[in-house]
Amino acid sequence: MNRYLAKSNPQETIQQHTDHLLKNYNILKSIYPNLEINWDILYLACLYHDLGKMNIKFQQKIESQEKIEGEIPHGILSLAFINAKALKDRGFNDDEIKILAHAVAYHHEREFNFDNHQLKEEIKLIEKEAENFMYEKIKDIQVKKLGAKYFAKDRIYQKDNEKMFFNYILVKGLLNRIDYAASGDIDVEKPNDFLMKSLSNLMEEWQEKDIHATWNDLQKHMLSHKEDNIIAIAETGMGKTEAGLQWIGDQKGFFTLPLKTAINAMYDRVAGKIIKEGYEDKVGLLHSDTYSEYLNKDLEEVDIDEYYNKTKQLSLPLTICTLDQVFDFVYRYRGFESKLATLAYSKTVIDEVQMYSSDLLAYLIIGLSYITKIGGKFAILTATLPNLVIDLLKEEGIDFIPPKTFTNNDRVRHSVKIIREQMNTDYIINLYNKNKVLVICNTVKEAQRVYKNLKIQHKVECVNLFHSNFIKKDRKEKEHNILSIGNKDSSEYGIWVTTQVVEASLDIDFDILITELSDLNGLFQRMGRCYRSRQFNESGYNCYVFDGGDKECSGVGYVIDKDIFQLSKEALRNIDGQLKEEDKMKLVSNLYTTENLKNTKYYKLIKANIDYVKSIEDHEKCKNEVKKIFRNINSMTVIPKEVYNKNLEVISSYIDILSKEYDKAMSKKERGELKGKKVIARSKLMDFTLSVPYHKTKENLIKSIKLNRYETIPILNCKYSSRIGVEYIEKDRFKEDSIDYFI
């Protein structure tokens, strides 16, 4: 018998690698036995997927570590081992065999640059190799070209057969998950046998402090509808995190939030205060800076590389993440199946849906349509819910139980004063008296203006600035500091001038809110950062809203829809004094109707995005293309000039590591060590970067630093300080055409 390798470093035979897949197949089946998938087809896909690797060219490539010309993808050659007649004799139908063939052929997405003659010749050669291949799990190995009715370089499309399409997604997607887990030497899934117990322990802790503590109506509602698709509207401070976790229960779950700041804070709370022990096998944090976050948390006795791998492979029972990390499957790019297949047996919580921009809201609507069709469940938990979201869900045929609202009308948290002028720092000075004052502006530029005015003109000492135009290193520090002062038990005081970065799901509690009007949704989100869980018993006001008066607030017309701003301004015209949660929700419900918004740019963009994504052919786009779309192709990662000059020595040391190439003579240990150094160097280097709009880089890029053969990072000519952030060198004022509610 010949020894055929599937992997080179470390060496692993085809039989050994397949055994690792079957081990993970059994793990998946034992944890989720009720998953509606053809387990027999998935088993066969695991069994056959890499048999094509016994071809001579692949074995030569593994031996020499060099690309071999004319090699046919091994997934295609593996099809020659599928005996369609024998499978039909065992009771499999044509559709099932076709699903098996396509899952095996495309388990790696490759370009097919071969003709039929080349394929036949290669199959003849592999037939001879198969005579020397022994594997106890395949009793009778036969090699011949699989019939064209099962595979002909084509694809399985939703429009041709929707049921078959979703069955294919499950088989192909879970084959990929199992294969990645086997290659990464991790378990494809970890069981969720801890979450309900952890929540029970949390309640016991609460009851030690208050014997009358119990789950509230929202949490009980979620607990009693664990098998339903559900929408719940609940005011800030009602325990939506616990409610979402109750609904997930001891199942696989994804908890999505709009902003990384909020995700980091929620992860810390869930891992540290709810789950506590063994969290590295239970909960993961997933966004574009995951590895950096794990590094910065100084996770003792945790293998960060393994933890990161388990997180990226979606192997953990609970994942707290941004929408782009899981919902990019809506583009059905080549290789999308693993994410949607995972969501088929998962429960997905969407927090603060009103925070999403028009494009992300469109992706969310389409994503929930796919998730429900393939068998997954969703819950939308939000402080306010625009009626148009309900209409959009219904238009896509998505089933859910009627939305329910939860408020505490015995408690009034906010008293509102509308100020009919543009943001005025004199008001801020008059209201600041060694208390906690939160100022929220619509744009970074306005926030910087207000901060400078307070610091320079009014000589305020305890004033800080927080927005998206800081490098990651400074932004992390500011996140930490605002969470510290915003803690309800903190005795710190001061003024924090911010933008929408604090708007969603951030657990901070200030005494006074002073804000520009953006729109009703945004305003009520902002109010949630003031008197978060407290009753306002004093006379006067604790929320001050500048509506622009005869003019507009900053950002209106380019980051805020002008029509929605005017509707919001009109809705607030007669508001003065106490504003109950129920009244806030009614205002939102009455304003954000499809009828009111159908002619706004915002609504038209949602519909256009939905139509565009639907129009894309399955398997048309590649993953990298979709990544750029989700991460906003109109932005660029840069290092500010002053940051670069100040940190030149340490930046150069990181680049030296990143530019090192892997040597063929390296052992697995040496390659692993270099890879680890590269990952850490990249993470540390990224701390000096930020993402800026392309139009801000015009004529302002000094040079680019080369990281490796494929990547560079531009240096941006701008002013920068850790107090103010980036200040652009602007030639002409630029107005964006697209509407986006993120700052």
Task: Give the pLDDT mean for 612-619.
Answer: 93
- Coil, strand or helix at 404: strand
pLDDT of residue 496: 98
Q: Fill in the DSSP letter of residue 54.
A: G
What pairs with residue 543 in β-bridges?
Answer: 416, 513
Select the CATH number that applies to the domain covering 414-598 from these four: 3.40.50.10860, 3.60.15.10, 3.40.50.720, 3.40.50.300: 3.40.50.300
Give me the residue spans of the domains in the chain.
5-184, 195-210+220-406, 414-598, 628-727
pLDDT of residue 699: 82
The continuous run of DSSP H or E covering 285 comes out as: strand 283-286
Residues 667, 624: Cα–Cα separation, whole Å: 30
Task: Give the pLDDT mean for 148-153.
Answer: 90
Which is more confident, 297 or 535? 535
Residue type, 526: R
Do the beta carbons of residue 665 and residue 291 sit within 8 Å? no
Question: Taking the chain, what is the end-to-end CA distance rounded to the nearest angstrom?
Answer: 63
Q: pLDDT by residue (tens digit) across 400-436? A: 999 999 988 788 999 999 999 999 999 999 999 999 9
CATH class of 195-210+220-406: alpha beta
Residues 592, 404: Cα–Cα separation, whole Å: 17
Task: Give the pLDDT mean for 103-131.
Answer: 91
Nearest to 44 by CA among 122, 94, 96, 2: 96
pLDDT of residue 627: 82
Residue type, 438: L
Do the beta carbons of residue 289 and residue 231 sit within 8 Å? no
Token pair in block for residue 110: 């490759």
Residue type, 400: F
DSSP codes, 411-448: ---EEEEEE-SS--HHHHHHH-SSSEEEEE-SSHHHHH
Q: pLDDT by residue (tens digit) across 335-380? A: 999 999 999 999 999 998 888 889 999 999 999 999 999 999 999 9
- Coil, strand or helix at 13: strand
- Coil, strand or helix at 47: helix
Residues 466, 500: Cα–Cα separation, whole Å: 10
Helix axes 581-591, 562-571, angle to 10 degrees: 140
Residues 346, 251: Cα–Cα separation, whole Å: 7
Within this chain, domains 5-184 and 195-210+220-406 share the same CATH topology = no
Nearest to 313 by CA among 330, 323, 324, 325: 325
Q: pLDDT by residue (tens digit) across 69-93? A: 888 999 999 999 999 999 999 999 9
Residues 349, 310: Cα–Cα separation, whole Å: 20
**pTM strictly above 0.85:** yes
Which is more confident, 300 or 492? 492
Nearest to 495 by CA among 519, 465, 517: 465
Do the beta carbons of residue 408 and residue 581 sit within 8 Å? yes
Give the confidence band of 631 by pLDDT, cuts at 50, 70, 90. low
pLDDT of residue 465: 98
Structure-token match 């809506």, residue found: 330
Residues 454, 460: Cα–Cα separation, whole Å: 6
Q: pLDDT by residue (tens digit) across 257-272? A: 988 888 988 999 999 9
Residues 565, 574: Cα–Cα separation, whole Å: 16
What dotted CATH number matches 5-184? 1.10.3210
Nearest to 330 by CA among 739, 27, 681, 612: 612
pLDDT of residue 431: 95
Residues 481, 459: Cα–Cα separation, whole Å: 21
Residues 365, 636: Cα–Cα separation, whole Å: 28
Q: pLDDT by residue (tens digit) across 26-74? A: 999 999 999 999 999 999 999 999 999 999 999 999 888 788 888 899 9
For residue 400, give Cα distances in angstroms to 208, 228, 248, 379, 594. 37, 7, 16, 9, 19
* Long-range pairs, 196-201, Cβ under 8 A, ≥24: 196/249, 196/250, 198/274, 198/275, 198/276, 199/242, 199/245, 199/246, 199/274
**Above 70 in pLDDT, residue 506?**
yes
Other C-beta atoms closer than 10 Å to the C-beta of 716 total 26
Give the confidence band of 740 by pLDDT, cuts at 50, 70, 90. very low
Nearest to 70 by CA among 125, 146, 122, 126: 122
Residues 563, 520: Cα–Cα separation, whole Å: 12
**Above 60 in pLDDT, residue 710?**
yes
Token pair in block for residue 610: 């939905």
pLDDT of residue 433: 92
Q: pLDDT by residue (tens digit) across 666-704? A: 887 888 889 889 989 999 999 999 999 888 888 889 999
pLDDT of residue 735: 43
Give the confidence band of 743 by pLDDT, cuts at 50, 70, 90. very low
pLDDT of residue 730: 66
